[in-house]
Structure 1
Amino acid sequence: MFRSNRFLRQAMTLASPTPIIIRPIKDGEYIEAVRLYRAAIGPSPTMQCLISKVDPLEWKQFTARRFKLAADEESDSVLVAQRIDTAELVGVALTERYSKESRPTLPNCQFPEGYNQKEAEQIMIPEVQFQEECLAKYGAFWYIDDFAVAPDYQGQGIGRQMAEHIIAQAKQSGRNIALFAASGKLGFYAQFGFEVAGKPCVLGNGMIEGPTPMRLVFPDEIGRAVL
């Protein structure tokens, strides 16, 4: 069930045995959101390449601050999927809306000690280049920056419901969507119509396949902005 308002719609999944709602994150939930985010993506080769030498507590605090800053930005949003019965957070997604007034840039924050910034640049630089290409082509678009479902709840349709929620919001605003899909997740996004838009990033001296650029382009008739 959906109800409109900027990022205030609530969604109940039909695929999961436990009903959930999808809503904006609230103050006091950042650490819990980061905990499930770390559990979901931390074991991946890409993340291990980037954060294996970072103190876990420092990384959680850093990511919590990043989520908080995004939630406070008018052009960004942090959504969470929450179980109705226990109120447990089971998914999190960070989206950004880029335009000529809000352009993509490289992060200018202070990363925690031990963070592999050299390898991170192998993702961040191509990512910003891809975002600039999308901006030049579409004039404005949505970007899915982070997307994770708690490991214990994967395969229950929660990720699908979160993706459908974001896609519906973007389509309603008349904007295409872009993202960097994590290795092994291309099929997940392809089911919604996302198409590969470039080669995957490569880390670890060519030994680790990083994320791949993808985008979902809506038909012109829905009113999306084009140059």
Structure 2
Amino acid sequence: HHKRKISLIAVSKKQSIEKIHGLINYGHLDFGENYVQEGVDKIKSISNPSIIWHFIGPIQSNKTRLITEYFNWVHSVDRLKIYDRIKNEANSLGKKINFLIQINISKENTKSGININDIDAILDGIDPNDDFVCFRGIMAIPSNTTNINLLKTEFSLLNKAFISLKERFHTVDTLSMGMSNDYLLAMNHGSTMIRVGSKIFGERI
């Protein structure tokens, strides 16, 4: 079993600046935010160029400029229009940004993401050689379930999609799946990046 590096994103939505500084002091650098304005306010306040900020929430098209300007990664691109806007803004700002396509693996209508079978609608529009926008892989939130077999099925499908994307795009290296309750299972199914909030910060009150 080959060892691969797994990145841990500390999901810092609703967490105080103090708590984030506490983790930074431990040497933690990757933070995830779900809401644009809250995230931008924290990024400006913390103002530390070593921190890697990940936008992981649903994207409204009128927020793409702020996301592009302030975040280093965006995990939740789920339609071509959003990619096109981020690409135009990154190029006009001269700012590099990494992105993941969010796949709605659970088919729950409440979740963002594109159906795994429709992903070509975005892939066909990606410029793999863009100077500023780099396609790194896929992100997903699995079904909200305790059914281990269902989770395994979903994680396996995502890993399979990830492997075929790596063959098609030389920049793809990231499978962002696994959260506080299922990260071990996700890691066993090829995840390279997990997103954990409550387990790191303690439960939010």
User: Fold match, TM over 0.5?
Assistant: no
Structure 2 length-normalised TM? 0.33
Structure 1 length-normalised TM? 0.31
